[in-house]
A and B are shown apart, each in its own frame.
Chain A
Amino acid sequence: MADLTLSGISKTFGPTRVLNDVSLSVRDGEFLTLVGASGCGKSTILRVIAGLEPQDSGTVQIGGRAVDHLRPKQRNVAMVFQSYALYPHMSVHENMAMPLVMSRMSLAERLPLLGRVMPRRREVMKGINAEVDTVARQLQIDALLGRKPAQLSGGQRQRVALGRAMVRHPDVFLMDEPLSNLDAKLRVHMRTELTELHRRLGVTFIYVTHDQVEAMTMSDRVALMDEGRIVQLGTPADLYHNPSDLRVARFIGSPQVNIVSGTTQTKGIAVSDTVLPMQVGLPAGQVVSVGLRPESLSLDIVPGRARLTAKLAHVENLGAEVFLHFILPDSGDPLVLRATLDAFEAHRGRLDQAVALSVDTSRALVFDTAGHRVDSTGRMAAQRPMVQA
């Protein structure tokens, strides 16, 4: 168990800068997720931490000691790969025993034939087998120990990969999109299981994903990355309700946040046919983007709230809730509204008609043209990513 600190990590592959001065500290036992679109550098960070890819500059510290000069096996980290990277020619047992065999047996003892006659081997192997069995029972794969990876389902392979990581009791678990090869149903199930595993082991987890749902549901904190930098680091709620950047607002949340363009006025922001009454510390006449989460719009006319007229274009009924897709008449900006089934019933049959929506401006997010968040005082809120926890 250990905390982990990255300071000023940069990395280039040829002409492309993959990591640009990334600093991050992860608390002992924390579940931290690196999330971002593909190519944002999140997997590279993981590989740098593991020691599979040397950084160009910066330092990695695990448990307070710099590990930059250490080889992957010496860093006491375990990694779970997207492809699971199980050795196909070895049984589940052999796969899981691999890290222990490599660390506890000498080269001579590992040799295929000669190894058998080495005196210490029997005893060491017994210890390894017992530990593998214990972990296998924890993961409920003890019945599969004799099988080869090809004879396992995707979910079972996933567990074996986890088991191989667990047997060595690492300081840090690194997970590179471990759920993306599973089908949707199993993925939801494994989310819960991984969170439970994290709670039980109490070890630092660093989890890489491009799926914002995984990031939101599993993590203590989330670091959203873009173009080799951490754009924002915070709790899932932070990133959702208080994004520092337009990119964060767009990435987190499903359905996506609605972005409508507006112009600042003295008393608020002019959007489409209305003025949203809100304090923005910007001079009048500035072009801004206003982010409205689907739940800050409502079909009920709430007194005192700004009203926006939009054309109902499409309805998605999910059973418990309904997503209504609107189009703003003049700009053509799309708007998605999250409504209850009851609220929607009252508006049934109004497809292609103009509907009045009320806007909860207290939850509106305002961004300047550069995409930075602007709060009521005009400061760009949390413009730099918060590095310290």
Chain B
Amino acid sequence: MTAATLSVSRNSQMRAEAIAGYAFAMPALFLILILLILPIIVVFMISLTDYQLGALTWSWVGLANYAEMMADKAFLRSLANTFIYVAIVVPGSVGFALIIAILVQERTKSKAIYQTIFFLPVTTTLIAMSVVWHFLLNPSLGPVTSLARALGFGDFDVFGDPDLVLVGLAVIGIWQLVGFNMILFLAGLTAIPRDLYDAADIDGADGVWDRFARVTWPMLGPTTLFVVVTSTITAFRVFDTVAVITRGNPMGRSDVLLFTLYKVGFQDFNIGPASAMTIAFLVFVLVVALAQAFLIDRRTHY
């Protein structure tokens, strides 16, 4: 066989392998296209129209929906509210989860019990729990408010107070997220080799702070980044509590992105503008996810 025919046969063999490879990837690729990519494209297309749910006609409006959205005070307010909510929930749920995980990790016999207790909120239905929280913090009947009154803190109505409502919702958000984040941190803590703490003891980093600052915290870097990103995305998607407890009240101070989207799309049936908001939402989540991918490569990789 000459060199030429050899390379031809190698080429055809490579082509056959490539075809086989694509054939194997096809089912998964097909599903990704149908279930993920296609809906996004469809939503993007709709966001360029004035389509109303149930309407028989529609027309292209270009980027008008986006322009309107950016000028819409209600949308911008809900966006700001969402960011405030995220800014409270993420540090709160990550910080508490880390503290609880470190405390629970030190337990030996009661570890499983504490894990279960703190994980319980994760397993509950947030809609149902929202009703419970609503009752707990009810200004006249709620046990929490009654207790506060009895202790002399005076009357307060968390979900009726424009300054408190986002904080109240954020507390529920933190309560719901802490258990899940704690489990992730516990997994991260278990993965830290005992030897490192022994070495730190011998090197003189044997105080609580030094052990945390020199070993625990740096070793939890990848876990922390993951927890922050998942918490951010979860907090960004806040909807259930708002829909059940406040419905955006008082005075739109608890309007959040997904709730506004829901109102525009499914109460006013303005599917076009709602689709534009969906795309905006997608962009924010995508930015967070990309930031994670970028950061994992740079900062916490060792």
A binding-site residues for B, Cβ under 8 Å:
47, 50-52, 71-73, 77-79, 81-83, 85-90, 98-99, 102-103, 107, 110, 148-150, 164
Contacts and interface: CB of A to CB of B under 8 A. Distances in A.
Contacts of B199: 79, 81, 85-87, 164
A362 B263 CA distance: 100
A103 B198 contact: no
A98 B203 contact: yes
B199 to A, nearest CB: 4
Contacts of B252: none
In the A-B complex, the 8 residue pairs with the smallest Cβ-Cβ separation, listed nearest first, are A102-B204, A85-B195, A73-B204, A85-B199, A89-B218, A99-B203, A72-B201, A72-B202
B195 A102 contact: no
A77 B202 contact: yes
Instruction: Give the dominant DSSP class at B's interface.
Output: helix
B197 to A, nearest CB: 9
Interface stretch (B182-190, B208-216, B272-280): B208-216
B266 to A, nearest CB: 48
Contact of A148 (B196, B204, B302): B302
Contacts, number: 65
Nearest to A161: B199
Interface string B129-144: 0000000000000000
A355 B206 CA distance: 65
A103 B202 CA distance: 11
A85 B198 contact: yes
A28 B209 CA distance: 36
Given A71-B206, A102-B210, A88 B201 contact: no
Contacts of B198: 47, 50, 52, 79, 81, 85
Contact of B302 (A50, A73, A88, A99): A88
Contacts of B95: none
Contacts of A47: 198
9 contacts: A50-B202, A52-B198, A73-B203, A81-B195, A82-B195, A85-B199, A102-B203, A102-B205, A110-B210
A89 B219 contact: yes
Contacts of A110: 210
Interface of A: prevailing SS: mixed
A42 to B, nearest CB: 16
Most buried by B among A78, A81, A107, A149: A81
A73 B196 contact: no
B54 interface: no
A325 to B, nearest CB: 41
A88 B214 CA distance: 11
B203 A164 contact: yes
B154 interface: no
A85 B205 contact: no
A98 B206 CA distance: 12
B196 A85 contact: yes
A89 B200 CA distance: 13
A52 B202 contact: yes
A84 B204 CA distance: 17
Nearest to A167: B203
A90 B199 CA distance: 14
B193 A107 contact: no
Q: Residue among B203, B204, B209 with the most chain A CB within 10 A?
A: B203
A197 to B, nearest CB: 19
Contacts of A79: 198-199, 202
B221 interface: yes
A123 B202 CA distance: 24
A87 B201 contact: no
A120 B37 CA distance: 59
Nearest to B199: A85
B201 A52 contact: yes
B195 A73 contact: no
B204 A87 contact: no
Interface in B189-245: 193, 195-196, 198-199, 201-206, 209-210, 214-215, 218-219, 221
Contacts of A77: 202
Given A98-B204, A102-B203, A150-B302, 20 more contacts: A50-B202, A52-B201, A52-B202, A73-B202, A73-B204, A81-B195, A82-B195, A83-B195, A85-B193, A85-B196, A87-B196, A87-B218, A89-B218, A89-B221, A89-B302, A90-B218, A98-B203, A98-B205, A110-B210, A148-B302
A85 B215 CA distance: 11
A107 B209 CA distance: 9
Most chain A beta-carbon contacts within 10 A, residue among B202, B209, B219: B202
Contacts of A89: 218-219, 221, 302
Nearest to A103: B204
Task: Give the most central of A50, A82, A86, A98: most B CB within 10 Å.
Answer: A98
Contacts of A51: 201
Contacts of A52: 198, 201-202
Contacts of B196: 85, 87
A78 B202 CA distance: 7
Nearest to A81: B195
A99 B209 contact: no
Contact of A72 (B193, B195, B206, B214): B206
Contacts of A86: 199
Contacts of B209: 107
A73 B219 contact: no
Nearest to A82: B195
A88 B199 CA distance: 12
